[in-house]
Structures are given as C-alpha cells and as structure tokens.
Amino acid sequence: MKTKLTTLLLTLITAISFGHSGVERGPNGGRILEFSKDETMHGEVTVKGDKFHIAVLDKDMKPVALAEQSLTAITGDRNDPKKLEVSKDAKGFVVSLVKAGDWLILQFKESPKSKAITARLEYNTEICEGCKAAEWLCKCEPEKK
C-alpha cells in the first residue's frame, strides 16, 4: 500500500511539474510532428478553413517536394476508428478537420516500400491562459527547472 501511494504521489508531482509547455512550431506557425525516427523528416500541421494542411519538411525545416510520399489519416476511438480522405496539393497533404477534442492519427510513408511512421495530434481547441492560442498550438515556453 505504501509503495502504491508513493508511486501515485510521484506521478502527480511529475504531472504538475511538467504538465504544461508549448509545442514545437514550424516556419508557418503550425504544429510540428515527427515523420521519421531520426528527426530528418517532419510534418507541419496548420488549419485553413475546414481542413488540416500538412506540409512535409526536412531536418532544416525546409519544404520537401512530394513524390512517392503517402499519408494515411485516422480519427475516432480505438473501437471505431474512421479513416479520413487524404489529398495532395502543391504544399503537402490535405485532410478533413476532426472534431475539437478528437485525435488525428497520421501514418507517413516516405516511399511505398518504407515503413510507416505514426504521429498523433490531439486537436485541443481550448484556449491556453498563458499565450491565448489554442492548446494544440500553445506558444508557452517550457517551464525551466
């Protein structure tokens, strides 16, 4: 019992200490997601109208021309996932907007033969008290120890 209580207390302290911090932002002000295991490929997620726009960026945050790359998008809960339609435009991929509070799961493949890299984004549209931006785009600096 004492071990469980200590574990719970440490978990709560950690959550309070590291609970809120900003997200990595891209050159267009969007949220950066990792599309590689070694941080050489990124996705920058922005919203325009009722669509997510996902630009593919290299390690220097420069746009990558789309050729063989593919993206699969899923939302919904584990018991009832819904595949979303993905299209390409001149700057990257376009995906329908999910409901506020839902998760957007992206599976990026650099080529048809490469292994898919999964990235997740909670589309939290609540406003951050610190920076007044939507939580999914929070601009707050991480707290320093």
Per-residue pLDDT of the chain (145 residues; tens, 9 = 90+): 555 444 444 443 433 333 445 689 999 999 999 999 999 999 999 999 999 999 999 999 999 999 999 999 999 888 889 999 999 998 899 999 999 999 999 999 999 999 999 999 999 999 999 899 999 999 887 665 5
E strands, 9-85, in order: 31-34, 41-48, 51-58, 70-75, 82-84
Fold assignment, 24-137: Immunoglobulin-like (2.60.40)
The per-residue DSSP string of 72-110 comes to EEEES-TTS-EEEPEEEETTEEEEEPPPTT-EEEEEEES
The domains of the chain are located at 24-137
Q: What is d(CA 91, CA 40) in angstroms, rounded to the nearest whole number?
A: 18
Q: What single-letter amino acid sits at 119?
A: A
Q: What is d(CA 126, CA 111) in angstroms, rounded to the nearest whole number?
A: 36
